[in-house]
């Protein structure tokens, strides 16, 4: 026979359990794609007692939820109705795909979280985006959690043309990102104009439409080609735009920038900026090296901030020489403090001097040598004085043995021994003969040897 105390405790537990009703099982929820064609789709949500269909027909501007189990009533798509519809979706989302494997061209999954719901609602309610969605130019994944209502909506034909050129270069998926995402090319120019032109509060015309109006179709093509072939980072963070517009901090080393909130007060007109990037880039001999032009323009801005605390000349007609003059003046400010350090670096670099045949490889002896090299060849090596002094990079001069004082080609070697930039006048490539000499010299001193910095 059970112990009386155990019997009483057991009975109390059984009575408590009997008094508390078992939790009701949640109704099973399933989803199925009714149809998916182009930008349009419909998804059904079913439980044992209910059936609802969410209909999104971008092509006709129709967005609603139909209750198939409640007399066919229809309600508009808004936050509460959408939240209820997606409440049963599992983690990872529901993939919108019909029996034939079709999926909408701008959205692939339904999700539960509120950020996704907000993005979806703002997207379908933004009629300016509908042409992009209809033409397979938009992907909601590019703007999730960062919806931007200022995506350009004006002359759609110009943007569509730009999209086609991007797609030719990179493919449709990449084109969607570059054209409309918050870091994309069209959006970035538009963003830069709004952010950095203090005289403008509301801008509705996109940058590409302005380019299209000024230059026509061929102008857009040339500008996009230049953009796509320029190895800059994603716009606008970390990009040439940030370099141009963020105030330079002279206390930091090697072009580091302070917080974006301290943006310079310089006013840049978008059309003038684009004209300069395109027209002057070509006129001043940078057509084959647009990234070099943008980098030099950025350096030119930074040097003005360093010397004057402001930008006094935004669009130099002689960028290479003007940048070299400022580079020289900036270098002079640093020269006294770094002279001793530079001398030690020079002594180390002379270990790699070399001559053979018609050419010789020389090391800089003083900071002025770098500045004069940059002046003669119209490139930016004059700004490398600090880096050479610190042996953060190695710079050498390729000269003719018969004329060793005349600049010919500048050679950069990384501290791990890898060959870096090899540039002649206006950043041009060396001749095949010069390049063979450089490669032979590099193989002799760096290819199979560990570089030990003194």
Alpha-carbon distance of 263 to 240, in angstroms, equals: 14
For residue range 30-58, list pLDDT tens digits in order. Answer: 999 999 999 999 999 999 999 999 999 99
188-202, 306-320, 331-345, 393-407: the lowest-pLDDT one: 188-202
- pLDDT, position 309: 72
Provide the whole-model pTM: 0.49
- Give the contacts of 49 (CB within 8 A, at least 6 positions apart): 27, 69
Name which residue leads in pLDDT, 170 or 403.
Answer: 403
For residue range 269-293, list pLDDT tens digits in order. Answer: 656 766 777 677 778 887 667 667 7
Q: What angle do CA 186, 187, 190 make, to 5 degrees?
A: 90
Q: What is the DSSP string of 240-276?
A: HHHHHHBPB-TTSSSS-B--GGGB------HHHHHHI
Q: Is 30 helix (H, G, I), strand (E, B) or coil?
A: strand
Q: Which two tokens stand for residue 314?
A: 């935004």
Number of H helices, E strands in the chain: 16, 12
Query: How many residues appear in the chain?
Result: 454
For residue range 103-113, list pLDDT tens digits in order. Answer: 999 999 999 99
pLDDT-derived band of residue 228, with 50, 70 and 90 as boundaries? low
Structural contact between residues 124 and 77, judged by C-beta atoms closer than 8 angstroms: yes
pLDDT-derived band of residue 26, with 50, 70 and 90 as boundaries? low
Strand partners, 400: 359, 403
Structural contact between residues 350 and 363, judged by C-beta atoms closer than 8 angstroms: yes
- pLDDT, position 264: 42
Structural contact between residues 320 and 378, judged by C-beta atoms closer than 8 angstroms: yes
Structural contact between residues 104 and 41, judged by C-beta atoms closer than 8 angstroms: yes
Alpha-carbon distance of 344 to 362, in angstroms, equals: 16
For residue range 353-392, list pLDDT tens digits in order. Answer: 999 989 999 999 988 899 899 889 988 888 888 888 888 8
Structural contact between residues 323 and 307, judged by C-beta atoms closer than 8 angstroms: no
Q: What percent of the chain has pLDDT over 90?
A: 31
Q: How many CB atoms lie within 10 A of CB 15?
A: 9
9-18, 51-60, 179-188, 199-208: the lowest-pLDDT one: 199-208
Residue whose pair of structure tokens reads 């999730």 in the numeric block: 144
């Amino acid at each position: 026979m059970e112990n009386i105390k155990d019997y009483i405790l057991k009975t109390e537990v059984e009575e408590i359990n009997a008094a508390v009703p078992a939790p009701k099982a949640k109704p099973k929820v399933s989803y199925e794609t009714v149809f998916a064609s182009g930008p349009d789709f419909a998804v059904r949500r079913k439980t044992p007692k209910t059936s609802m269909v969410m209909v999104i027909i971008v092509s006709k501007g129709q967005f609603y939820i139909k209750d198939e189990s409640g007399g066919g009533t229809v309600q508009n798509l808004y936050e509460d109705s959408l939240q209820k519809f997606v409440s049963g979706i599992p983690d990872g989302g529901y993939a919108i795909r019909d029996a034939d494997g079709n999926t909408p061209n701008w959205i692939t999954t339904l999700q539960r979280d509120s950020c996704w719901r907000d993005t979806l609602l703002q997207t379908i309610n933004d009629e300016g985006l509908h042409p992009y969605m209809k033409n397979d130019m938009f992907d909601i994944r590019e703007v999730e959690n960062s919806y931007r209502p200022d995506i350009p909506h004006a002359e759609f034909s110009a943007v569509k043309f730009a999209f086609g050129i991007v797609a030719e270069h990179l493919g449709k998926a990449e084109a969607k990102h570059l054209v409309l995402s918050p870091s994309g090319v069209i959006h970035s120019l538009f963003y830069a104009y709004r952010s950095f032109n203090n005289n403008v509060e509301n801008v509705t015309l996109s940058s590409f439409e302005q380019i299209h109006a000024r230059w026509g179709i061929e102008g857009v093509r040339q500008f996009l080609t230049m953009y796509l072939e320029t190895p800059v980072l994603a716009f606008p963070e970390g990009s040439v735009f940030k370099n141009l517009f963020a105030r330079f901090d002279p206390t930091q080393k090697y072009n580091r920038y302070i917080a974006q909130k301290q943006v310079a007060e310089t006013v840049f007109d978008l059309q003038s900026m684009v004209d300069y990037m395109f027209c002057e880039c070509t006129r001043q001999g940078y057509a084959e090296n647009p990234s070099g032009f943008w980098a030099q323009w950025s350096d030119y801005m930074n040097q003005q901030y360093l010397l004057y605390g402001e930008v006094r000349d935004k669009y130099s007609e002689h960028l290479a020489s003007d940048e070299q003059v400022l580079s020289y003046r900036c270098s002079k400010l640093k020269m006294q403090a770094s002279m001793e350090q530079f001398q030690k670096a020079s002594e180390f670099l002379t270990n790699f001097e070399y001559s053979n045949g018609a050419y010789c490889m020389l090391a800089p002896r003083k900071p002025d040598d770098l500045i004069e090299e940059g002046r003669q060849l119209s490139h930016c090596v004059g700004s490398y004085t600090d880096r050479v002094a610190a042996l953060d990079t190695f710079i050498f001069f390729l000269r003719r043995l018969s004329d060793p004082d005349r600049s010919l080609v500048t050679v950069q070697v990384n501290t791990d021994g890898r060959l870096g930039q090899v540039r002649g006048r206006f950043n041009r490539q060396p001749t095949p003969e010069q390049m063979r000499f450089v490669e032979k010299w590099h193989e002799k001193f760096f290819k199979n040897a560990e570089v030990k910095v003194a």
